[in-house]
Amino acid sequence: MSNHADEKGARMGMWFFLYTEIMFFGGLFVLYAAYYHRYTEDFIVAGRETMLVLGGLNTAILLVSSFAVAAAVRAVSKSSSRTAILLLGVTVILGLIFLFNKYLEWRRDFADGYYPGSDKMASGPVGQSIFFALYFTLTGLHALHVLIGTGILAACLVLTAKRRITADRMSFMENSGLFWHLVDIIWIFLFPLFYLLL
């Protein structure tokens, strides 16, 4: 009974945490919308400088990883730990690939002078500077979430291998999956805001 209550409490706590995360990013999205309304043309021009191919690739990576996490949770519930370990391993690798792609993109942006405070941004239109300030803030926060999520899922992999996560004790695994799905959903909003501006 106590274990069931603990599992239920953990789930409720996770949903509350996810709610605060949604509110936090929601506020940043509202800020983006306000500046986009004011500097529409500047945002569109700046958006053309982002790397659509890498952004699209990272979108596909997160979608596949989200499916892998969901399948891993299902595998644990069916007591198929080997399958869960494999799927979690795939997800961790995909998370690291996402971060590497983001590093390549940011490196190109910095090399080309597309970052807040650069001479290029200081001498250019205000709207473009604001666009890149929001771009680095939002994608940077998202990358931090990907890094944390990847670490948590790696811990799930180890705990599953040690039989610490089982069909009877899987709240940590479920909550980790929910966090990863949130990371995926946030990116689904970020991708069109920064890469598909028309």
Output the domain CATH number for residue 84.
Answer: 1.20.120.80
Collapsed DSSP state (helix, strand, coil) of residue 170 = coil
Question: How many other β-carbons are positioned within 10 Å of the β-carbon of residue 162?
Answer: 9
Q: 10-residue block means of pLDDT along the chain (198 residues)?
A: 64 91 96 97 95 96 97 95 97 98 96 90 92 96 98 97 92 95 96 92
Task: Report which of 86, 65, 88 is spatially closest to residue 152, judged by C-alpha positions.
Answer: 88
Q: What pLDDT, on a 0 to 100 scale, did the predictor assign at position 117? A: 85
Task: Give the domain extent around 19.
Answer: 2-195
- Give the single-character DSSP code of 166: B
Determine the Cα–Cα distance for residues 58 and 53; give it in Å rounded to an integer: 9
Say how many residues make up the chain.
198
Q: What pLDDT, on a 0 to 100 scale, did the predictor assign at position 1? A: 44
Determine the Cα–Cα distance for residues 94 and 180; give it in Å rounded to an integer: 12
Taking CA atoms, 135 is separated from 70, 103, 115, 146, 184, in Å, by 29, 14, 9, 16, 17
Number of domains observed in the structure of the chain: 1
Q: What pLDDT, on a 0 to 100 scale, did the predictor assign at position 192? A: 96
